[in-house]
Amino acid sequence: MHPIPSPRPFTARAFTLIELLVVIAIIAVLAAILFPVFAQAKQAAKQTASLSNIKQVALSTQIYVGDADDTAMLPCTWGSGTGYDVYPGNPDGDYAPWSVLLQPYMKNYGILADPQGPPLLAFPGFPGAPTWAAPWSQLFDTQYGYNGRAWTPQPMVAPFNPMPRSMTAITRPAETVMFAAKTGASEVLVPGFWSLYNGDKSPFMIQVVFPPVCDPGNFLQLVPNDCWGPDSFFATPGFNPIKQDVADGYVTGLVSQRGSGKMLITYGDGHAAKKAAGAMAVGTNYTGKGSVFQNKITDDSIYQWDGAN
């Protein structure tokens, strides 16, 4: 009779150095493949949320206009009794930008912030301003801008008050820009540089966007080169001495291109779209490379930034 052999004792086998290096290399390759995919998915989700936000802003404006005898919304008002007393004791201190005017119809502060953008600037930015950040930040650091040049042009004669157009006077509302995702106050590097009206009394300038062509005609522009181009006002070292990021809108009138190189736009009929800068400059000779002073409107019938078309 043969004896039953005793089982061998179990001996654990360790990975060799080569095997460990192979596993690490595989993980690194998978990470290199998947991380950009995750980043793109996250960016796409933010872009979708931003497009939804700006569409809600435009639809709120449509309701506002319906209650305003079909008259376009002003970029801001002073002394209306509906705004914020940003300068206590000053008769001009009752300031209501379009973001405040829309609140009865919007009833939401959060949609004024672009999910693709940087954190909102935590005001106070004025004497007597509240110390809390919200909703002050959302109302005065809007990351969507109003195309006031089309809807409420500002004459070049005193007192320079904007003149809101009748909505029926806009011949192509579905092709005329109303709002666009834009540069926020936290991205503006010149302290206190806010206002198109009344000096630095308000952050109005960071609540509007500017068109591709600096052709004021009978209407006021901030400075001759405040529109689109690599040498435009917002891209100059005097305004933006450190950061000159094309995606943030410094070369496109504060209109942001954060959306994977796309601009997020809403039109006068309320529909939203994402388009490249070239598509938004249709009807002009804008190329993105020439001087802002060379920009011209070449075809009024397809230009999307002037309600007089």
- Confidence band, pLDDT 50/70/90 cuts, at residue 150: confident
What confidence score (pLDDT) does residue 276 get? 92
Distance CA 49, CA 30 (A): 29
Distances (CA, A) of 259 to 60, 168, 187, 247: 23, 32, 16, 8
Tokens of 252: 């496109």
Res 291 pLDDT > 60: yes
- Confidence band, pLDDT 50/70/90 cuts, at residue 308: low
What confidence score (pLDDT) does residue 203 get? 47
What confidence score (pLDDT) does residue 248 get? 79
| Average of per-residue pLDDT across 174-188 | 85
Does residue 5 or residue 191 have the better pLDDT?
Answer: 5
Lowest mean pLDDT among 147-151, 162-166, 261-265, 267-271: 162-166
What confidence score (pLDDT) does residue 36 get? 72
Which residues touch 293 (CB under 8 Å, ≥6 apart)? Answer: 214, 224, 225, 229, 231
Distance CA 250, CA 228 (A): 8
What confidence score (pLDDT) does residue 27 get? 87
Tokens of 187: 């991205």
What is the C-alpha R_g of the chain?
26
Which among 264, 175, 162 has a CA at the least distance from the CA of 204? Answer: 162
Res 57 pLDDT > 80: yes
Distance CA 15, CA 29 (A): 20
What confidence score (pLDDT) does residue 263 get? 94
Distance CA 125, CA 122 (A): 8
**Widest pairwise Cα distance in the chain:** 121
Distance CA 257, CA 249 (A): 6
Distances (CA, A) of 258 to 87, 89, 166, 254: 34, 40, 32, 11
Res 15 pLDDT > 60: yes
What confidence score (pLDDT) does residue 2 get? 60
Res 241 pLDDT > 80: no
What confidence score (pLDDT) does residue 175 get? 92
**What φ, ψ does residue 161 adopt, rounded to 5°?**
-75, 140
| Average of per-residue pLDDT across 74-90 | 64
Q: What is the dihedral of CA 297, 228, 218, 76, to 10 degrees?
A: 130
- Which residue reads 């996250």 in tokens? 42
- Confidence band, pLDDT 50/70/90 cuts, at residue 197: very low
**What φ, ψ does residue 2 adopt, rounded to 5°?**
-85, 140
Q: Encode pLDDT of 242-279 as tens digits.
A: 556 677 788 898 899 887 789 999 999 999 999 999 99
Lowest mean pLDDT among 32-36, 195-199, 259-263: 195-199
Mean pLDDT over all residues of the chain? Answer: 76
User: Quick check: 115 and 43 in contact, CB under 8 A?
Assistant: no
Pairing of β 94-97 and β 144-146: unpaired
| Average of per-residue pLDDT across 227-243 | 72
Res 127 pLDDT > 80: no
Res 207 pLDDT > 90: no
Lowest mean pLDDT among 2-16, 112-126, 165-179: 2-16
